[in-house]
Structure formats: C-alpha cells, structure tokens
Amino acid sequence: MKKILYIALVISSLFVTGCEEVVDVDVQTAPPRLVVDASIDWIKGTPGNEQTIKLTTTTGYYNTEIPVVSGAAVVITNSAGTVYEFTETPGTGLYVCGYFLPEIGDTYVLTITHDGQTYTATETLYSVPDISGIQQKDDGGFMGDEVEVRFFFNDDPAEENHYMTRYENEMFPYPDYDISSDEFTNGNQMFDFITDDFKPGQLLDIKLYGISKQYYNYMSKLLDVADGSGGGPFTTTPAGVRGNLVNQTNEADYALGYFRLSQVVHLPYTIQ
C-alpha cells in the first residue's frame, strides 16, 4: 500500500512540475506608432464645445500599460480658417478644447505635430436624425429566450447616409457597435436592434451617430477583424486597419486611429 502511495505521489509531483513550466515566446516588437483617438462627437441638445483627443503609442505584446504621448501640438482647423487648439492635461495624453464650434456639413482638418513628424486628416461633420421610437420584446434572439431592444429613425431622402450605433450595458466588458447605411432604404424608416440576456431595471445606453462613408468602410473592416469573420474562409490574414491620418513628414511612419466628426443622438433606455 505504501509503495503504491509513493508511486502515486511521484507521478502527481511530476504532473504538477510539468504544469508549472514557463514557456517564453519570442515575439517580434515593431517600432512604436502614434495612435490617435480623435472622435469629435456633438450630442444633440448640447453646445458641443468641449472636445477631447487622446494620443498614445503602440507597445510590446506583454506590456500592461499603454504609453501616452505628451508634448504634441494638436489643432483642428475649419473651412473658414478658424483654428481650435487642443491643450494637454499634463502627463495624460488627453488634449482638450473648450471652445470648439461644430457645424453640420463643414469640413475640418486635424493637424498633430510630435517628435518632428506632422500628421493630418480631413473629415466632414455629419448630421443624424432623431430617434422616433423604441420597442422591447422578450422573445428575441435565435432561441427566442433573450430580450430584444429595437429603435427607429427616419432617413433623410435628400442625401446618402451612413450610421453607427453604440450600445453600453453593465454586462458588457466593452461597448457593442453596429453600422448601417441607407443604400437600400433611402428616405425610409430605419431601425437598429440588440438582443441579450438583459434584466429588468438595467440601463441600456444607446448612441446613434451620423458618419461618413469612409468611416463606415473603416469600421466595417474593424468589426470584421473583431468578430473573426474576415469575410470568409479564403480571405487573407487580418492586418492593421489604416485610418485617415497621413504623415506629411514621412509617409511610411503612418499613425493608427481615425479622425471622425459626428452629430450624435443619445438615448438611455431602462429594460422593462
């Protein structure tokens, strides 16, 4: 009995030791690139004058902290030549402007100068329709056992429109995004919806954005990479998705991220 017990203990100790072996994987590290989070959101019913741009850099795979970029010069210029300067909150990589003036249909140029490089991007501020109604049903989802929340809005027939929806809920580790266009529904009532195991009393935070066609295409690629679809089994391996930022000093040293301007409708909804 003791012999059998000893063998069992030896085998167990070998198993535990094998599980604790550390394997070092040599991961290639590319030179850091500038990452720009420049989303100018004008929520309906607000002045839209307070806006923030965040600058960081890429970092190594095993690094747990994202390096922030300090000391950059960040400005946005409208089509009339008005310059809006964004000033950093020291040491945060957050650049803030308190007097920005959003105008639907106006074109803006973002210019970032940092470490001897100048990056620019051009975008137009797009409008968004009001949300005309919201509907909840408790037999949504593939199996009919989830809560579905659907909201409606009327598309403008006079122009080509693209939209993005952002959902937040306490159960989500990250916001959920969806995009749509009026290619087949121009001038009609449109809707977006989400289904999940929502509970009564929970808050579902809904934001609808008016976006450009270029940003629609950009988000489409990002969402394909995020959900692993990639367009099918024979597509190429997903790579870094390029935004609209151009390095005017050295084109090869491009920045990641996107400069976007949107009018936004915000609808907090409590699950019934």
- Domain of 256 in residue numbering reads as 34-126+243-262
Look at residue 102 in the predicted model and tell me its pLDDT: 98
Q: Are residues 90 and 176 part of one domain?
A: no
Q: Considering the entire predicted model, what is its pTM?
A: 0.84
The verdict on residue 13 lying in a domain is no
pLDDT tens track, the chain, 272 positions: 333 434 444 334 444 444 555 555 555 567 899 999 999 999 999 999 999 999 999 988 777 889 999 999 999 999 999 999 999 999 999 999 999 999 999 999 999 999 999 999 999 999 999 999 999 999 998 888 999 999 999 999 999 999 999 999 999 999 999 999 999 999 999 999 999 999 999 999 999 999 999 999 999 999 988 776 544 444 443 456 889 999 999 999 999 999 999 999 999 999 99
Report the length, in residues, of the chain: 272
The verdict on residue 64 lying in a domain is yes
Q: How many domains does the chain have?
A: 2
The verdict on residue 17 lying in a domain is no
Nearest in space to 78 (alpha carbons), one of 51, 48, 108, 99:
108
What single letter denotes the amino acid at residue 155? D
The verdict on residue 236 lying in a domain is no
Q: Are residues 250 and 122 part of one domain?
A: yes
What does the alpha-carbon distance between residue 211 and residue 244 come to, in Å, rounded to a whole number? 14
For 219, phi then psi, to 5°, come to: -65, -35
Look at residue 22 in the predicted model and tell me its pLDDT: 58
CATH number of the domain residue 51 falls in: 2.60.40
Q: Are residues 108 and 136 part of one domain?
A: no
Residue 86 and residue 95 in contact, taking contact as beta carbons nearer than 8 Å: yes
Print the SS3 string covering 235-252. CCCCCCCCCCCEECCCCC
Look at residue 142 in the predicted model and tell me its pLDDT: 86
What is the C-alpha R_g of the chain?
Answer: 24
